[in-house]
């Protein structure tokens, strides 16, 4: 895969994931859940803009700048530390459609992450550096979506912390 094709494919992933979040925002009733999804949507939109800039620069100069990829999503560790605060503000009700749309978001984030890892493995130095930035960010997106999914499905886990033991019930 050429570098240009890799950027275009990455754009396709980011647009698809962003659109899933747009759909999710409409379906999720919980204000705290909406806020998390809006942050994820905004982060994906920034990724789209970043990739478009990189593609334009690549086409024009055949080079990339070292512009750092930013994110508004905290690290998985920060998400875990904020668990109690977020949980205290979330509704206990599971709304129709939330599980489905969160499952789609999780699947799309995992697929995007695998693609970025493949690009790091296959591309030259410039491409590796650019796509490596996406891997950590996507891992944080996966952690955020998984946490939300765990909460709404009452799996007994919230941000990978066990809330209850089924044997105790």
Interval 69-115: pLDDT, tens: 877 776 666 555 554 454 544 444 445 467 788 888 899 999 999 99
State the average pLDDT over residues 35-63.
Answer: 91
Domain positions in the chain are: 3-168
> What is the arithmetic mean of pLDDT over 25-40?
82
Topology given in CATH for the domain delimited by 3-168? Ferritin (1.20.1260)
pTM of the model: 0.76
Residue 35 dihedral angles phi and psi, to the nearest 5°: -60, -45
Spell out the residues 6+ positions from residue 104 whose beta carbon is closer than 8 angstroms to its own. 20, 24
Measuring CA to CA, which residue among 107, 134, 105 is closest to residue 118? Answer: 134
pLDDT of residue 149: 78
């Amino acid at each position: 895969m050429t570098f240009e094709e890799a950027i275009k494919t990455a754009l396709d992933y980011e647009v698809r994931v962003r659109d899933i979040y747009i759909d999710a925002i409409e379906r999720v009733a919980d204000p705290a859940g909406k806020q998390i999804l809006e942050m994820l949507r905004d982060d994906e939109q920034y990724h789209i803009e970043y990739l478009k800039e990189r593609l334009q620069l690549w086409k024009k100069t055949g080079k990339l700048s070292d512009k750092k990829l930013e994110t508004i999503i905290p690290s998985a560790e920060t998400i875990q530390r904020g668990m109690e605060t977020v949980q205290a503000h979330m509704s206990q009700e599971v709304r129709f459609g939330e599980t489905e749309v969160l499952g789609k978001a999780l699947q799309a984030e995992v697929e995007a992450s695998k693609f970025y890892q493949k690009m790091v493995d296959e591309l030259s130095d410039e491409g590796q550096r650019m796509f490596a930035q996406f891997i950590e960010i996507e891992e944080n997106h996966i952690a955020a979506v998984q946490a939300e999914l765990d909460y709404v499905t009452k799996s007994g886990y919230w941000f990978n912390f066990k809330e209850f033991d089924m044997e105790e019930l």
